[in-house]
Structure 1
Amino acid sequence: MTHSSSLATTSPLPWPRALWQRCRTLWLLKLVGNTIATLGFFPLYFWVMHNAGPAWVLPLTGVDRMISFWPAMLPVYLTLWAYIALPVLLAKDRRELDTIAIGCAVMTAIALAVFWWMPTAIPNFAIDAVPGSSLHFLKTFDAAGNAFPSLHVSFSVFACIVLARQLREVGAPGWLRLLNLVWAVAIVYSTMAVRQHVLIDVLGGLGLGLALGFALRERPSAALVPGAARAA
């Protein structure tokens, strides 16, 4: 092991510098890969929605009836696309980047398989969306199908788990780690507040996100394994 490697493991950078270092690492690959993955997702998603069989309309629960329609949560709902890009941006190396990519791909494949073999839809809520508004565009563009499990929720939960791990590794302060959790919870809540999902598919997305977030843990780098260090 080189002297510089020893310093890297015993003298960590201050957390703002550590986060910036992660952002700079493989930044072009992260940018291109995330863009291709995001743009490639939508054709598959909508193809399944329009070609799967008749959808089973999910029932409402007491929780769904308690949550009021809150169109002001739409901007929070849309922040998912920025939120799920953060774990990719903060990946410290190619190994972590690959782990995140595998998690997202497996999550998407499982959800699309469920959408295809067990099509579901949310009830037809009576929502007065002003033509031309963002909410009207969302309801027109993203129909009521492909409801269970909610990929919006599963990606939020997966991103929250990965981000929590990354923030812990760099020694980020508690307020930043709490902000990560609050952001994820707000996105999950917004899916019901803007009437894009109901409790049943939110729970399905929650389970899928938790399963992949905790199952695909990154293996320790060889530089951090004591046996490997001694051998070096």
Structure 2
Amino acid sequence: MTSLKTPWYRQIAAVIPKQITLKSIGTTLFISLFFGAYFYLLKTPAYPTTVMPFTLLDRVIGFQPLALPMYLSLWVYVSLPPALLATRRELYGYGLAMAGTCLVGLIVFYFWPTAVPAAHIDWAQYPDVNFLKNMDASGNACPSLHVATAVFSGFWLHHLLRRFYAPLWILIVNSTWCIGIVYSTIATRQHVAIDVMAGLVLGGVGAYLSWRNRLDASAIGDVRHASI
């Protein structure tokens, strides 16, 4: 009854400060460890690198430098789901699920190094994108972990926002943001369509399994509580 009487935005405002220290340290530590492993594999591939092919979709979606802000917004987007979790148990479960999803991608990178094909673009004409290219080389392409983490976060955000009875327009904003990030990976030529498809599968399966396990754990808890 309380959740129905309290506006959704007040519920969210009340949840965000909870476990704020764990959220802040955990998110920072996770991103730091991820980038450490990501760049290590990027610079020291264990096997010959496979160059991913262009497809018709890559040709349809031309290079769009204005998509860069949307691409970079991922690092804000992935911070939102943990911000909406209230307990340590939820945060640990979410963190393990996200880590497991990323670990699968990193293992693929180790055993099957891939790279994005040359786009034949003079990057010097686009200094912001050129900076990104210098920081994040063309390797570690498939599956796109940029896409996988966006989809994973989008799935969780959708269900968490529904928990707070957020209005439809907020759910649409969430979906649009997620789709925009996915689109930007091709539009900035950081990935090709095949990388994106693989990332969609990885992120979707990881999110589905983690949310299903969460529901199963909640059901077991309810049964135990009812039996006491």
TM-score higher than 0.5: yes
Match of 2:225 among 219, 225, 228: 228
Match of 1:155 among 149, 160, 163: 149
Is the radius of gyration larger for structure 1 or structure 2?
A: 1
Moved over 3 A (4+): 219-224
1:42 is displaced (CA, Å) by: 1.1
Provide Cα deviations, 1:8-39, integer angstroms capped at 9, x if missing partner.
Answer: xx321321111112201101110011011111
1:108 is displaced (CA, Å) by: 1.4
Match of 2:36 among 43, 46, 52: 43
1:92 is displaced (CA, Å) by: 2.2
Q: Distance in 1 between matches of 2:28 and 2:52?
A: 32
In structure 1, the partner of 2:20 is: 27
Match of 2:48 among 41, 54, 65: 54
Q: Distance in 2 between matches of 1:41 and 1:54?
A: 23
1:223 is displaced (CA, Å) by: 11
Structure 1 gap segments, 5+ residues each: 1-9
1:226 is displaced (CA, Å) by: 6.5
TM-score normalised over the length of structure 1: 0.91
In structure 2, the partner of 1:170 is: 164
Match of 1:82 among 51, 61, 76: 76
Other structure's SS at 2:85 match: coil
Q: Distance in 1 between matches of 2:160 and 2:133?
A: 35
Other structure's SS at 1:144 match: coil
Other structure's SS at 2:137 match: coil
Provide Cα deviations, 1:136-167, integer angstroms capped at 9, x if missing partner.
Answer: 11011100000000000000000000000100
Provide Cα deviations, 1:85-137, integer angstroms capped at 9, x if missing partner.
Answer: 00011112122211210111111111111001011111011122237822111
Contact 1:222/1:228, CA 8 A, preserved across alignment? no
Q: Distance in 1 between matches of 2:219 and 2:146?
A: 35
Q: Does 2:205 align with 1:201? A: no
Pair 1:132–1:67, CA change in 2 (3 A): closer
Q: Distance in 1 between matches of 2:116 and 2:55?
A: 12
1:79 is displaced (CA, Å) by: 0.2
Pair 1:224–1:15, CA change in 2 (3 A): farther
Paired AA for residue 197 in structure 2: L
In structure 2, the partner of 1:6 is: none
In structure 2, the partner of 1:92 is: 86
Aligned residues: 222
TM-score normalised over the length of structure 2: 0.92
Pair 1:139–1:228, CA change in 2 (3 A): same
Paired AA for residue 35 in structure 1: T
Contact 1:222/1:229, CA 8 A, preserved across alignment? no
Q: Distance in 1 between matches of 2:162 and 2:169?
A: 12
Paired AA for residue 113 in structure 1: I
Structure 2 gap segments, 5+ residues each: none
